[in-house]
Chains A and B, each alone.
Chain A
Amino acid sequence: MLKLVRLEFLLSRRVLLTTFILFSAVFVYLACWSDSPNQFIGFVSLVTGLAIPVTFEGREDRFRTSVLLCSLPARRSDIVRAKYTMTWAVMAGALVYALLIAALPFSKIPLAQVINPKGLLLLVFFLSFFFAFQLPLTTRFGFKGIMIGLVGLQVLGVLGFVFVDLFGGKRNPLRVVFLAVEKFFRTIVRLEPTAGNLLLLGAAIVALNAGSFLVARALYARRDL
């Protein structure tokens, strides 16, 4: 598996450098603009969790190099494991980099409210949340996977309007789902940082990643190249 991670790294060095430059600009802007720890956590996890998988997997799709990967002496499950390892390694690097920028003198981010067990776990949780949905789709469908994700959200939005039209605002069945999701996120953000809650959050992170990996592995195994 390490050979596959090394291969992914060597073949993506150039794009890593470009991503580093782009992220520098984004994180510096964020640090100068916002003084909210929640905004910092949300923004960094959104940008990193979506941009990194798309950047790496998009390259494979753009150059159609899945054939190269899958003709190497490795199982497809190992290839997916390597993709997850590599993506997580780069995302972890990006998180550390964002925190370093937030620690610079010009930054308005109250770093102490982010660098604590709950803040860090929240950052990793939201990162996992975005990444967990994006990577299986991109692994299986490449750029089309991104489109599938976006179109899926659009369809959900349209359905929301249709349901409002049909049932009115309060009796809208989608509203129940949206409110539940919103409540779930609010609960997580407002979680008391007790040992039990932090453990639960950690378990949710592991579950999200494990679920995402299993889905990606199943999708990639069925991919005809």
Chain B
Amino acid sequence: MTNAIEIKRLRKEYKGFTLEDATFDVPEGYIMGLIGPNGAGKTTIIKLIMNLIRRDGGEVRLFGLDNLRHEPEVKARIGFVYDVPRFHEDVPLGVIASAIAPFYVKWDASLFRRLLEEFELGPKTMFKKLSHGQKMKFSLALALAHDADLILMDEPTAGLDPVFRFELLERLRSIIQNERKTVLFSSHITTDLERVADHITFIHEGRIVFSEAKDDILETWGVVKAGPDVLQPADVPESRGVKRTDYGIEILTSDVAAARDALGGRAVYDKATLEDIMFYMSRGNGHA
């Protein structure tokens, strides 16, 4: 399996935040969801991939090429959707597109027009007249119109209405099903990723906690629940986070089968959702 993205020991330091040696791969033809609470480092990783910020260490390879040494070549194969689309406000959409089109050899003007029609956007409309959702649609139309091999999206569903969120996710799924494209999609809305992602990378406080196939995560991770004095976190194999309530204790484990073997009927076992994992590891006294 070839990788569309290979990230090794990627490092970026800010005052009060450090992305520490992030390492993960995104296989070609898959959707990778990058999850984590706000401020975890998702945008930093995407900006480093796009060389929008300077890295302090590590390596990013896209389609086997270094993203700095081969910057124009790799960027020509990326469709980038930023969390807040930025274009010249006083310029019509058609003019923005015609200014951007020559940068991409595979730009398909008829596909772009079709997408604009589908998204109910007029080429003569000024960018400033668009709502946030419409701006996102325009940004997505630009990203898709040049037949990009890799779609990079930073929080694309944040602030969108449920209908367009659903449409966007369906479109991402159809891109992957019909063609050999790769998507890296950051979000803190975990249900979106549960719906479409094949792999999940979880980042917390600048550190990659795990990067695994989504089905494996949902299969193996679980929440162990028991009465107040029945269990301690140390009793649960592969314990990753704890929440204490008035009624008992809830412990997140990355191996629910092992927990069941070890504890038997002393506890009840639920499958963990991505939201559970994010919550327990970031708020529930997580310990990786």
Contact = CB atoms under 8 A, between A and B. Distances in A.
Contact of B96 (A11, A12, A74, A222): A11
Interface in B92-116: 95-96, 98-100, 102-104
Interface of A: 3, 6-7, 10-14, 59, 63-65, 67-68, 70-75, 222, 224-225
A14 B103 contact: no
B99 A63 contact: no
Given A6-B102, A11-B88, A11-B91, A71 B54 contact: no
B72 A65 contact: no
B224 to A, nearest CB: 43
Contacts of B73: 73
Given A70-B50, A73-B104, 14 more contacts: A3-B102, A6-B99, A10-B98, A11-B96, A59-B88, A63-B87, A63-B88, A67-B86, A68-B87, A70-B52, A71-B52, A71-B80, A75-B71, A75-B72
B100 A14 contact: no
A72 B75 contact: yes
B68 to A, nearest CB: 9
The 10 closest A-B pairs by CB, nearest first: A73-B76, A73-B75, A10-B99, A224-B53, A7-B99, A225-B52, A73-B72, A11-B88, A71-B80, A3-B102
A169 to B, nearest CB: 45
Nearest to B12: A224
A74 to B, nearest CB: 6
Interface residues of B, number: 28
A67 B52 contact: yes
A11 B52 contact: no
Contacts of B98: 10
Nearest to A69: B86
A3 B104 CA distance: 10
6 contacts: A11-B91, A14-B90, A67-B82, A67-B86, A70-B51, A72-B100
Given A6-B99, A6-B102, A11-B96, A71 B87 contact: no
A147 B50 CA distance: 29
Contacts of A10: 91, 95, 98-99
